Amino acid sequence: MQNMTIVICNYNYGRFLAKAVDSALAQDYAATRVLVIDDGSTDDSREIIKSYGHRVKALYKQNGGQVSAYNDAVNMIETEFVMLLDSDDLLCPHAVSSVMRVFEGADFVKVQFRLDVIDSAGKPSGAYVPHSAAPSDCGALLRQGWLYPSPPASGNAYRTSALKRIFPVPEAHINRYGADFYAIYGVALLGAVATIPESLGAYRVHRTEVLGIDFANSESSDKAPKALTNRWAILRQMARSRLDIDLPLSFYDFSLEKSYFCSAVYQAPFRKRWRWVSRQSHSYFRSIVANPFWSYKKKIGTLALSSLCLLPFSALSDFAVRYIANPLARRRF
């Protein structure tokens, strides 16, 4: 039986941390280790971590951001397989055993699985992420600039030897967060990715009571494009210098184009919506029509919903944008 490490990176999430640690310790895969990285928390997180004694290994560091925490975590991992669990998320008891069966069956660099979306109190929302599966050879499409569908950090398990070829990641001020971007897309350049089509964990969204266009705990729709663009530029540099792989200057990703779409048409006057569609929507529609990961049914449905923004009824237009952008907004319909 090969060993698996579950790494929990935490910063001031003491109110959720114990449940994350408990879910890691409750795995039915006996060869599971738990490592907690505390990135300079100022709440009661460190007392919570210490209460577990020798059941977890811990690193207490000064605050440096998520990228810094990932760098330290990857450097400390001693097992060949690792899962990077956010401290506000949860794993099902059979998560590790499920991914290990896949790892042991083939030479994958990453195994990903769905996460059920829960609210801040842990109540299931009925939604899950991601909604599309990635092909095993998604690295080939990544070399063409297509970011493949992936769950957030907690829905991924990695071969550590591959992860160590990507990390450490530069810790520049503009790059303090989004460490999972480099893990998710960096390792796909090194081998095949497997998808388990079932939920093996839970992704906690703190803003479920506000059903606007922003989904989850990542950057808001107006900040996401710049953050993703910066991360892609850094990944390109790393791929070139460390892996001798040339990635294209720009990338294609529906979530990025969706951010531009939302910023342009949500709660916008009718004339402004038409102006954006007629002059600036080419990349958005390309990310739908040419998307190599989507079915024809999904493409047609998204195009149909997007077209509602061309109607003069602002309420209908805003509904369509919310439905496209935020999976939680779909629960009411």
- What is 4-243's CATH number, 3.30.420.40, 3.30.428.10, 3.30.2130.10, 3.90.550.10? 3.90.550.10
Q: What confidence score (pLDDT) does residue 98 get?
A: 98
Sorted by sequence, the CB contacts under 8 Å of residue 272 that are 6+ apart come out as 264, 265
What letters, b where the CB count within 10 A reaches 16 and e where it falls short, cover 194-229? bbbeebbbbbbbeebeeebbbbbebbebeebbebbe
Output the six-digit token pair for 173: 């001020």
- Domain boundaries along the sequence of the chain: 4-243, 254-332
Q: What confidence score (pLDDT) does residue 329 get?
A: 72
Rounded to whole angstroms, how far apart are CA atoms 202 and 146? Answer: 26
Q: Is the pLDDT of residue 116 over 80?
A: yes
Q: What confidence score (pLDDT) does residue 174 get?
A: 76
Rounded to whole angstroms, how far apart are CA atoms 133 and 44? Answer: 38
333 or 268, greater pLDDT: 268
Kindly report, residue by residue over 209-259, the tens digit of the pLDDT.
555 666 655 555 556 778 899 999 999 999 999 999 999 999 999 989 998
Residue type, 15: R
Q: What confidence score (pLDDT) does residue 211 get?
A: 59
Residue type, 332: R
Burial (CB count within 10 angstroms: exposed 0-12, middle 13-18, buried 19+), residue 193: buried
Kindly report, residue by residue over 171-224, the tens digit of the pLDDT.
987 788 999 999 999 999 999 999 999 999 999 998 655 556 666 555 555 567
Kindly report, residue by residue over 128-146, the tens digit of the pLDDT.
999 888 999 999 999 999 9
Assess contact for 58 and 35: CB atoms under 8 A.
yes
Q: What confidence score (pLDDT) does residue 325 get?
A: 85
Residue whose structure tokens are 């097992």:
79
> Does the pTM of the predicted model rise above 0.75?
yes
